[in-house]
Amino acid sequence: MSVYFEFDEVDAFTIGAVGRPGQRTFLIQARRGGERVTVKCEKQQAAAIAEYLTKVLHDLPPPDDRPMPGALELAVPLDVAFVLGPVGLGYDRTTEMVLLQLDEFVPVDDEGEPEPDALDDRSRLRVFLTRGQVVGLCEQIQQLLAAGRPNCMWCTLPIDPDGHVCPRMN
């Protein structure tokens, strides 16, 4: 069953991770009033969102507002509405708001084509964010990425807390 959420403005839009490095689950969360939507995503998706939004912000005037530090914390309960698939990003020049559209992951068949019924029934979250909220989100994502597992100095693969088998150090 699909759900559709649209926020013209949000009180908070953030990303967080639960679990220990190497086993973290990344969650994106939008909040307005008493309404809360949480979407599960991959670390690489979070990094790609931050990278693209940083490029978008580079061409825009600096923000006048910034989110309060507490607004960047995930709020519980963390009930996941759906798992993230495609991401759409845009900028509305008339309102000076950044559009972020998060669509649900859709399974594919053996040929790599999405299942038609699943496409029609996928969930979506659309939010409009201020430039300040986007800056806060990008900074939050960078902090989360830096807090992960350290990389091996020889092969650059992540080092697990239990050790690391480096392919370059046979």
* Packing angle, helices 43-58 and 131-146, rounded to 10: 140
Q: What pLDDT is attached to residue 39?
A: 98
More confident residue, 87 or 160: 87
pLDDT of residue 170: 64
Nearest Cα to Cα of residue 8 among 130, 104, 124, 136: 130
Domains in the chain: ranges and CATH: 4-169 (3.30.2450)
Residue 117 in this model has a pLDDT that exceeds 80 = no
Q: Is the peptide bond before 158 cis (omega within 30 degrees of 0)?
A: no
Rounded to the nearest 5°, which phi and psi values hold at 101?
-115, 125
**Average pLDDT score over the chain:** 90
What is the dihedral angle through the alpha carbons of 116, 120, 123, 128, rounded to the nearest 10 degrees?
120
Q: pLDDT (tens digit, 9 = 90+) per residue, 60-107?
A: 888 888 777 778 899 999 999 999 999 999 999 899 999 999 999 998
What pLDDT score does 87 carry? 96
pLDDT of residue 54 exceeding 90, the answer is: yes
pLDDT recorded at residue 1: 66
Between 148 and 96, residue with greater pLDDT: 96
How far apart CA 100 and CA 87 sit, in angstroms, is 7
DSSP alpha helix (H) spans, 4-152: 43-58, 116-120, 131-146
